[in-house]
Amino acid sequence: MNLVRKMLWSAIGAAALAAPAVAQAPSALSSLQLGMWQLRSTGGSGAGRSICIRTAEQLLQIQHQTRNCQRRTLGSTSNSVTVRYECGGGVWGQTQLNVETPRLARIDTQGISGGAPFHNYYEARRTGACG
């Protein structure tokens, strides 16, 4: 009986190590309110626009909103997160998001899109609920 118990615990431990880790959202994102956000360019590189934010992670991948990309957190504090994402085909980005308040964030994002480099700075403000 003791041998069976040891084998069972060994199998459970091996399965736990083989299971993929569940990615958790960086803590800085948890304070952001969801809803309609206005993105205003602060670096003179792109026009402002409104987007409906249903998950705070959307603010990490502004240039490639519709792409399914693999994201890796490079650094995270209670009010800041830096991520790098790769979408395949030479498309990638790196974003630093600083949370000022639950309704205000500053975003610095750069990478490659459409074969050309981009580097944008945004002030993101929550303006209300999504329509």
Query: How far is residue 51's CA from residue 91's CA, in Å, rounded to a whole number?
Result: 22
Q: Do the domain assignments include residue 44?
A: yes
Would you say residue 88 lies in a domain?
yes
The region, left, alpha or beta by phi > 0 then psi within -120 to 50, assigned to residue 115 is: left
What residues make up the domain containing 34?
Answer: 27-128
- Residue 21 domain flag: no
What is the spatial distance between Cα 61 and Cα 118, in angstroms, rounded to a whole number?
Answer: 13
- One-letter amino acid at 103 equals R
Q: 1 in a domain, yes or no?
A: no
- pLDDT of 12: 42
Say if 5 falls within a structural domain. no
Tens of pLDDT along the chain (131 residues) come to 554 445 444 444 433 333 333 345 577 899 999 999 999 988 665 567 899 999 999 999 988 877 789 999 999 999 999 999 999 888 999 999 999 999 999 999 999 988 899 999 999 999 999 98
How far apart, in whole angstroms, are the C-alpha atoms of residue 113 and residue 119?
A: 10
Residue 67 covered by a domain? yes
As a whole number of angstroms, the distance between CA 114 and CA 122 comes to 20
Question: How big, in percent rounded to 5, are the helix, strand and coil portions of the chain?
Answer: 20, 45, 30
**Tally of domains in the chain:** 1
pLDDT for residue 45: 54
Q: Which amino acid is at 28?
A: A
For position 42, what pLDDT does the model report?
Answer: 84
Residue 18 is inside which H or E element, if any?
helix 2-18
Position 22 in a domain:
no
- CB proximity list for 67: less than 8 A, separation 6 or greater: 61, 87, 91
Q: Is the pTM here over 0.85, yes or no?
A: no
Q: What was the pLDDT predicted at 79?
A: 94
